[in-house]
Amino acid sequence: MSYRFSDPSLLQHALTHRSVLSETNSDYTQSNELLEFLGDAVLAFIVVEYLYLSFPDRHEGELSKIKSMLVSGEALHRIAMDLELGEHILMSDNEARNGGRKRLSILEDTLEAVIAAIYLDGGMEAARNFINRHILSHVEKLIDSDYDRNFKSKLLEYAQGLGMKAPVYRVVNEDGPDHQKRFEVEVEIEGKSLGVGSGHTKKSAQQKAARAAMELLSTGGVLKPGHP
């Protein structure tokens, strides 16, 4: 894990599943469920804050969709698996034998409990750093996949619906060092320029160009002449 606790008991609390309580004669408050409740709120706030500051030109509905993808059970389960969190959860032998260490709901809740523990131990900045590293680092990948599913396919359907050739994407500019290259891509349909997008990968730039094209077409924009 990328965070070192000043109070290790907070981490132990975050890793305590309710199934172990009967074996240790502990009460409800010793499980991680209340921490999970707090962690869910901390995670939601930091993700929304990040999206609000990073994408001021996006509509609320679009940001809500991105947030939902970032904090979904599947996404948190994948991150918890990457962190091998399941191997450290304190749970009953029966729960472990029944696959508890890999169960989506348990790993999702435990990760949120760990976020709460980090928040209580190191404050909001510590929680933000953890979330930035393990969750928000996936934002561009999620957005790219969403663009790929929606905007590129919609643009292709638009062209096909008019009996036109498939959109053509071409790199019109690239700059920056090799480890942080930035590409600018233009999309054309039969020589007519519809939009330009930029990103750290060609695929990302293509997807953003397709989005710009769909926005132009949806507002009845006039097609601009393409490059010779």
**119 and 39 inside one domain:** yes
Per-residue pLDDT of the chain (228 residues; tens, 9 = 90+): 678 999 999 999 999 999 998 777 777 778 999 999 999 999 999 999 999 999 888 888 888 888 988 998 888 999 999 999 999 999 999 999 999 999 999 999 999 999 999 999 999 999 999 999 999 987 877 766 654 456 788 888 888 888 888 999 999 999 888 777 889 999 999 889 999 998 888 887 888 898 888 888 776 654 444 443
Is position 2 within any domain?
A: no
Q: How far apart are CA 204 and CA 196, in angstroms?
A: 11
**108 and 161 inside one domain:** no
Q: What is the pLDDT of residue 137?
A: 87
Taking alpha carbons only, the member of 153, 147, 164 closest to residue 211 is 147
Of 102, 134, 166, the residue at which a domain comes to its end is 134
Q: What is the pLDDT of residue 158?
A: 84
Question: Which residue out of 36, 40, 108, 109 is catalytically annotated?
Answer: 40
CA angle 58, 59, 65 (to 5 degrees): 95
Question: Which residue out of 109, 112, 121, 144 is catalytically annotated?
Answer: 112
CA angle 156, 162, 165 (to 5 degrees): 55
Of 90, 118, 134, the residue at which a domain comes to its end is 134
Work out the widest C-alpha separation in the chain, in whole angstroms.
77
CATH code of the domain covering residue 161:
3.30.160.20
Ramachandran sector of residue 126 (left: φ over 0; alpha: ψ -120 to 50; beta: rest): alpha
CA distances from 121 to 34, 132, 213 (A): 15, 17, 47
Is position 227 within any domain?
A: no
Question: In which domain, by residue range, is 186 found?
Answer: 140-222
Known active-site residue 109: no
Known active-site residue 178: no
The pTM of the full predicted model, rounded to 2 decimals, is: 0.66
Is position 184 within any domain?
A: yes
SS3 readout for 162-186: CCCCCCEEEEEEEECCHHHCEEEEE
